[in-house]
Structure 1
Amino acid sequence: MTTHKPQGSARRRSAVAMTAAAALVLAACGNGDDGNGDGGNGTADNGGAEAAGGGTVSAYNCEPQNLMPSNSTEVCGSWVLEQLFTGLTQVDYETYEAVPGVATDWESNEDQTEWTFTLGEDWTFHNGDPIDANTFVETFNWVVDPDNAQQNTSFYDVIVGYEDVVNGDAEELAGVTATDDYTLEFELNEPFSPLPMMLSYTGFYPMPAEAFEDPESFEQAPVGNGRYQMDGEWEHDVQIAVDRYEDWPGEDPGVPERIEWQIYNDIETAYLDVQAGTLDIMDSVPPNRLSTMEADFGDNQTMFDTSSFTYMGLPLYQEEFQDKDVRHALSMAIDRQLIIDNIFDGAQVPAGNIIPPMLPSAREDACDYCDFDPEAAAELYEEADGPSELTIYFNSGAGHEDWVEAVSNQWQEHLGIENISFESLEFAQYLDLHDNQEVTGPFRLGWVLSYPSPQYAMEPIYTTGKSSNYADFSNEEFDNLIAEANAADPEEADSIYQEAEDILLEEMPVIPMFFQSQGVVHSDRIQHDSVQMDPRTFLRVEQLVVNEE
């Protein structure tokens, strides 16, 4: 999923619908494992046996923007929805392949424009309603209906009939059909080899009829088909509680009996609560706590490398940022390593690329304008008549204040910018500001891969009219290269995706900052060897083991 959390976001642009979310690839460090767990899709594998017991886990989360799968584009909501729902496919984070969810198998024609998915016959929603091929047809048609204004709509644009529906010329997607109760067929308007992987994304989860009848009420207590089911309603700014769904037909049911996401608007408070034992686990240690994390928690802490890409975006709809030399100068005036060393205690990786380092197609230092060169930056900024005043935007309560201020100090020191002010909002409101294009200066955001593909690292964020294009970037050559790579055989696609990445690094709609290493801390109630995080920065909360008390 989109999907990201307060360090990122995904969305579709305004009326058509980052981060997002939100998904990705990661390796753990600091505990001698690979960060992916033991099961086929990165979760604990108990061989299909019915789970018993398991206790209650309380976990840190931020306030989701919403809890409608087709409208969720950030990690805080998508993390919850992943436990409440199961899509056609899931992702194996050991092999980076799509594996069965509701669908048991699938196949395509030679040019990958026609796909057939066979569904399992024992799936139901938590209210007992059966799930069949027509469930997905009805869900997908509702999602793309422009009257419903769902943010994940643009993920469907590869399906035949998408443009007709969003333009009001048709009521249903011509390219999605149920040929019988458990066979679902897709016809695509272009070759798209990542389809099975993409269908694991939050925006393609099946939804019951009640979701379409009253969406606002539904997302207060979503009825899904996942490992866990809602217990009561979403208590805004307080908690979201779920219980294990004992009739889930998958092979790896949840381990905890109950999960309670405690919602915090200040990450520092959550850290102190874990330290005090009143919160079991948190997945986003504040940057200022990374240097003391081991002293504070001993063995109850771990660092995970993730695909979480942090950037300073630039609103290209603002005249003062339309000259790419201004964007280059802003990038070259940032000493990323100094910020990482002083603020993150070395727990980040400087970004000289867009494609996350753990993907096979990633290249180190692909960026010509990401090295710190203050003299060249100052000269370029002056020649391009860069703005003398800036407002910098970031989401509050997630530990970004210090490093964003450090960037502003460097810009003032090296570029002679006279005045810099700051605007910060809680994450859900922050995304609304972007949706309305009300951001007037550099903005902090991030992106987390919802599935492990360079296509997802770039297409939803930078392609014209696509999801999460907060910078409002549009480049025909880039768009064409993405389409070409999507149609290519996997062994040929990587080099084409790299050509597309080169355009991004030259045009620089966003300034790459760093790839995140994420700290996780937990109380004594949680068995340390059960703590895992996948590349999306999703803590695998469904596999946590609670110590007997």
Structure 2
Amino acid sequence: MRLFALLAVLALAVTGCSGSDPARPGVLSVGLREPATLLPADLADQAGRLVTGALWTPLADYDAASGKVTPRAAASIESTDRVHWTVKLRPATFHDGTPVTAQSYVDTWRVVAAAQWVSSPVLTKLLRAREITATAPDTIALTLDRPSGQVPALLSAPGLVPLPASVLASRDWDGFAKAPVGNGPYRLDGGWHPGAGGTLKRVGAAKAEEIDLRVGEPSAQYDAVKAGTLDLATEVPGARHEAMHGDFADRHATWARPEAGYLAFPVTNPPFADATVRHGFALGVDRAALEAGPLAYQADPAKAMLPPADAPGDRTGTCRPCSFDAAAGKALLKQAAFPGGATVYFGPGTEAWTRTLAVGLHKALDVSVTAQALPNAGPPTGPSTVDVKLATASPYELLSGLAAQSGYTDEVFRQNLALADAAATPQEAGELYRLAENQLLRDLPVAPLWSGHGHAVWGPRVHDVTTTPFTGPVLAAIGVS
């Protein structure tokens, strides 16, 4: 028996498969949570986007702050009138060896538009193309239903990457998510193993030859990086938030995530039809308590309506309704003769922080505030919490969605959004989006509460860690010595 045990240990040492030693030359070990799926058009979680960001190359990268477009799979995305757009593709192949063509995108987008996936509204509600065709193997032609300068931002969405013809024919989405085939710098070798992870092999422009993806809990992964048995942990639990700065002084990163929380008011319901009442409730929210409590330092208190991951340029003005001022909040409710008492409704995934929010509002405003799940039928009669997970870097997606959430139908706001969508330059669009944002902050159909951020820590042999809002750490850019 002792001989068999010794042989087993020797075998693990030879193959390097023990999972406890990351120091294999050219191999980067990465800790992450279990992805919700690896079907790119139907995911919104950080772990899923981390993996699919390595398996696929999007048409372009889009920076919301500057409006800068960096072509990736596309050689160019151009238009002369903002109605007719042409996308030229670079030569590329899928990991199964088949070519990536303009028809690959057209067929994929047709499927995505018809599905009920996370990224489906990008095509049906935001892009709104009347026609999308492949005019040549390397050329996509789009004709919109109105002029829009947001096309580069929308086509950069990570959910609009192409799928190979094999899965478009079979429609076996569950099977494909276990063994995805992309067009990116890494391929998944041997499929995905739920609860364990998978192995990425380099096939394109990337630094690490191989990436060992390990599924686990963030606290254990944090400790593994400290112990030297894991190279990179892509999430830092709240309990380690402060220790991170000392444990990994120059080996940690924080980035803005495309996620934010809001309190949406039913503006057509009499108790909340007065903006004074809505501002009173906004001033009664202790956002720092949410950050340190149920949000576990995975978010920042909101400082604007648009979160940093979605904001065009720097905001110059202050956000008064983002402040915590209980005395001012109570005074506003008294001024508006608020009848007292409210129910705050929550949906899936927001119950914990909504209950904390309700308790805080009750204490700060001295009115009865309770928390309750959203009704199965009919609109809520009180404010409701909203956890927004963005599919694109375009402010249009968020601002239009927030207005719809609360039933806000102001015509000037609608016109500013339409003008921003049609704007000829990112700078012009950014100014118009800020006007629309400022109007929301004045009328306050929704109150901004928090914006999400991510953390990563890494070991001494890791270098060149960069992050983006949608993928977090960019795996292809990370080097390992």
Q: Hey, what's the Cα distance between the residues in 2 that align with 1:320 and 1:259?
A: 56
SS across alignment from 1:306: strand
1:485, CA displacement in angstroms?
A: 0.7
Aligned to 2:120: 153
Deviation track 1:120-161 (CA, whole Å, cap 9, x = no partner) reads: 23x11111111111111111112212xx3233222113789x
Distance 1:435 1:234, change over 3 A: farther
Q: Hey, what's the Cα distance between the residues in 2 that align with 1:472 and 1:504?
A: 11
The amino acid that maps onto 1:480 is Q
1:288, CA displacement in angstroms?
A: 3.4
Deviation track 1:462-493 (CA, whole Å, cap 9, x = no partner) reads: 254xxxxxx45442533332121111122432
> 2:47 matched to 1:76?
yes
Aligned to 2:182: 224
1:225, CA displacement in angstroms?
A: 0.9
Q: Hey, what's the Cα distance between the residues in 1 that align with 2:208 and 2:220?
A: 24
Instruction: Confirm or deny: 8 A CA contact 2:54 2:474 kept in the other structure.
Output: no
Q: Hey, what's the Cα distance between the residues in 2 that align with 1:77 and 1:437?
A: 33
Q: Hey, what's the Cα distance between the residues in 1 that align with 2:225 and 2:475?
A: 15
TM-score of the superposed pair, with normalisation by structure 2: 0.78
> 2:133 matched to 1:177?
yes
Distance 1:463 1:434, change over 3 A: farther
Instruction: Confirm or deny: 8 A CA contact 1:313 1:445 kept in the other structure.
Output: no
SS across alignment from 1:255: coil
Aligned to 2:477: 543
Aligned to 2:260: 310
1:125 corresponds to which of 75, 94, 107 = 94
Q: Hey, what's the Cα distance between the residues in 2 that align with 1:409 and 1:365?
A: 30
Q: Hey, what's the Cα distance between the residues in 2 that align with 1:534 and 1:320?
A: 42
Distance 1:208 1:304, change over 3 A: same
Instruction: Confirm or deny: 8 A CA contact 2:38 2:48 kept in the other structure.
Output: yes
SS across alignment from 1:232: strand
Q: Hey, what's the Cα distance between the residues in 2 that align with 1:278 and 1:289?
A: 18
Identity of aligned residues (%): 25
1:207, CA displacement in angstroms?
A: 0.7
1:114, CA displacement in angstroms?
A: 0.7
Instruction: Confirm or deny: 8 A CA contact 1:394 1:444 kept in the other structure.
Output: no
2:38 corresponds to which of 59, 67, 70 = 67
Higher relative contact order (CA closer than 8 Å, sequence separation 6+): 1
Aligned to 1:208: 164
Aligned to 1:241: 198
Aligned to 2:387: 445
2:326 corresponds to which of 370, 374, 378 = 374
SS across alignment from 1:234: strand
Farther off after superposition, 211-220 or 508-517: 508-517
Distance 1:70 1:293, change over 3 A: closer
The amino acid that maps onto 2:387 is L
1:118, CA displacement in angstroms?
A: 1.9
1:100 corresponds to which of 41, 53, 71 = 71
Q: Hey, what's the Cα distance between the residues in 1 that align with 2:419 and 2:148?
A: 10
SS across alignment from 1:243: strand
Instruction: Confirm or deny: 8 A CA contact 2:153 2:392 kept in the other structure.
Output: no
1:176, CA displacement in angstroms?
A: 0.9
1:220, CA displacement in angstroms?
A: 1.9
Distance 1:193 1:102, change over 3 A: same
Richer in strand (by share): 2
Aligned to 1:280: 231
Instruction: Confirm or deny: 8 A CA contact 1:367 1:505 kept in the other structure.
Output: yes
Aligned to 1:34: none
Distance 1:374 1:275, change over 3 A: same
1:102, CA displacement in angstroms?
A: 2.5
Alignment of 1:3-152 (within 5 A): 54-61=26-33, 63-91=34-62, 96-109=67-80, 111-121=81-91, 123-145=92-114, 148-152=115-119
Which ranges of structure 1 fall in alignment gaps of 5 or more residues?
A: 1-51, 163-172, 424-432, 465-470
Q: Hey, what's the Cα distance between the residues in 2 that align with 1:192 and 1:76?
A: 32
Distance 1:245 1:92, change over 3 A: farther
Q: Hey, what's the Cα distance between the residues in 2 that align with 1:365 and 1:346?
A: 25
Instruction: Confirm or deny: 8 A CA contact 2:198 2:213 kept in the other structure.
Output: yes
The amino acid that maps onto 2:111 is W
Aligned to 1:480: 415
Instruction: Confirm or deny: 8 A CA contact 2:187 2:200 kept in the other structure.
Output: yes
Q: Hey, what's the Cα distance between the residues in 2 that align with 1:211 and 1:404?
A: 40
1:458 corresponds to which of 399, 411, 422 = 399
Instruction: Confirm or deny: 8 A CA contact 2:218 2:233 kept in the other structure.
Output: no
The amino acid that maps onto 1:240 is G
Which ranges of structure 2 fall in alignment gaps of 5 or more residues?
A: 1-23
Farther off after superposition, 209-218 or 329-338: 329-338
1:85, CA displacement in angstroms?
A: 1.3
1:206, CA displacement in angstroms?
A: 0.7
Q: Hey, what's the Cα distance between the residues in 1 that align with 2:246 and 2:294?
A: 17
TM-score of the superposed pair, with normalisation by structure 1: 0.70
Alignment of 1:355-366 (within 5 A): 355-356=306-307, 359=311, 361-366=313-318
1:348, CA displacement in angstroms?
A: 6.9
Q: How many corresponding residue pairs?
A: 449
Q: Hey, what's the Cα distance between the residues in 2 that align with 1:389 and 1:158?
A: 31
Q: Hey, what's the Cα distance between the residues in 2 that align with 1:86 and 1:500?
A: 32
1:223, CA displacement in angstroms?
A: 1.1
Q: Hey, what's the Cα distance between the residues in 1 that align with 2:186 and 2:137?
A: 25
SS across alignment from 1:157: helix
SS across alignment from 1:184: strand
Distance 1:435 1:140, change over 3 A: farther
SS across alignment from 1:151: coil
Q: Hey, what's the Cα distance between the residues in 2 that align with 1:393 and 1:275?
A: 37
Distance 1:73 1:96, change over 3 A: same
Aligned to 1:511: 447
Q: Hey, what's the Cα distance between the residues in 2 that align with 1:421 and 1:276?
A: 42
Farther off after superposition, 488-497 or 94-103: 94-103
The amino acid that maps onto 1:87 is P
1:187, CA displacement in angstroms?
A: 0.7
Structure number with bigger Rg: 2
1:311, CA displacement in angstroms?
A: 2.1
The amino acid that maps onto 1:519 is H
Instruction: Confirm or deny: 8 A CA contact 1:394 1:445 kept in the other structure.
Output: no
SS across alignment from 2:321: coil
Alignment of 1:285-304 (within 5 A): 285-300=236-251, 302-304=252-254
Distance 1:151 1:317, change over 3 A: farther
Aligned to 1:331: 282
Q: Hey, what's the Cα distance between the residues in 2 that align with 1:472 and 1:241?
A: 42
